[in-house]
Amino acid sequence: MIGGGFGGLYATRELGKGRDLVDVTLVDRRNHHLFQPLLYQVATGALSPGDIAQPLRSIFRRQRNTTVLLGEAVGLDADGRQVLMSDGGPIPYDTLIVATGAHHQYFGHDEWMPNAPGLKTVDDATEMRRRILIAFEAAEREARPDVRRAWMTFVIVGGGPTGVELAGALGEIANDTLRADFRSIRPPDARIHLVEAMDRILPTYPPDRSRSATRQLERLGVTVRTGTRVVHVDDGCVRVEPAAGDGETEEIPTRTVLWAAGVLASSFGRRVADATGAETDRSGRILVEPDLTVPGHPEIFVVGDAAVQPWKPDRAVPGVAQGGIQGGKHAGATVLRRLRGEATPPFRFSDRGDVAVIGRLSGVTNIGWLGPFGRQGGLLAWMLWLGIHIVYLIGFANRIVVVVRWAWSFLTRGRSTRLITGSPLLPPIEEPEPPA
Which residues have a catalytic role annotated?
Answer: 165
Judged by CB under 8 A, which stretch of 196-204, 297-305, 317-325, 402-410 contacts its own copies? Answer: 402-410
Which conformational region is residue 388 in: left (phi greater than 0), alpha (psi within -120 to 50 degrees), or beta?
alpha
- 283 near its own copies (CB under 8 A): no
Q: Which residue, 65 or 283, has its beta carbon nearer to its own copies? A: 65
- 189 near its own copies (CB under 8 A): no
Distances (CA, A) of 6 to 37, 54, 320: 11, 12, 10
- 249 near its own copies (CB under 8 A): no
Cα 253 from Cα 159, distance rounded (Å): 20
Helix (H), strand (E) at residue 325: helix 321-339
Paired with 233 in beta bridges are 238
DSSP structure class, residue 56 = H
Closest CA to 35 of 17, 56, 16, 15: 56
Q: How many CB atoms lie within 10 A of CB 388?
A: 18
Query: What is the nearest approach in angstroms of its own copies to the Cβ of residue 89?
Result: 3
Cα 277 from Cα 373, distance rounded (Å): 45
Q: Which residue, 118 or 327, has its beta carbon nearer to its own copies? A: 118
| Triad 347, 348, 354: Cα angle to 5° | 125
- 74 near its own copies (CB under 8 A): no
Distances (CA, A) of 218 to 168, 171, 172, 214: 9, 9, 12, 6
Query: What is the nearest approach in angstroms of its own copies to the Cβ of residue 122?
Result: 5
Query: What is the nearest approach in angstroms of its own copies to the Cβ of residue 93?
Result: 12
What single-letter amino acid sits at 47?
L
Q: Which residue, 55 or 378, has its beta carbon nearer to its own copies? A: 55
Query: What is the nearest approach in angstroms of its own copies to the Cβ of residue 323?
Result: 25
Cα 240 from Cα 133, distance rounded (Å): 25
- 1 near its own copies (CB under 8 A): no
Judged by CB under 8 A, which stretch of 122-130, 229-237, 323-331, 363-371 contacts its own copies? Answer: 122-130
Q: Which residue, 54 or 280, has its beta carbon nearer to its own copies? A: 54
Closest CA to 264 of 106, 128, 157: 106
Give the one residue of 100, 105, 126, 212 binding its own copies; rule: CB under 8 A: 126
Scanning residues 18 to 37, which ones bind its own copies (CB under 8 A)?
29-32
- Asked if 163 contacts 261 with a C-beta cutoff of 8 angstroms, the reply is yes
Query: What is the nearest approach in angstroms of its own copies to the Cβ of residue 98?
Result: 19
The contact set with its own copies (CB under 8 A) reads 29-32, 47-51, 53-55, 57-58, 61-62, 67-72, 86-91, 121-123, 126, 133, 137, 140-141, 178, 180-183, 395-398, 400-401, 404-405, 408-409, 412, 414, 416-422, 425-426, 428-429, 432-435
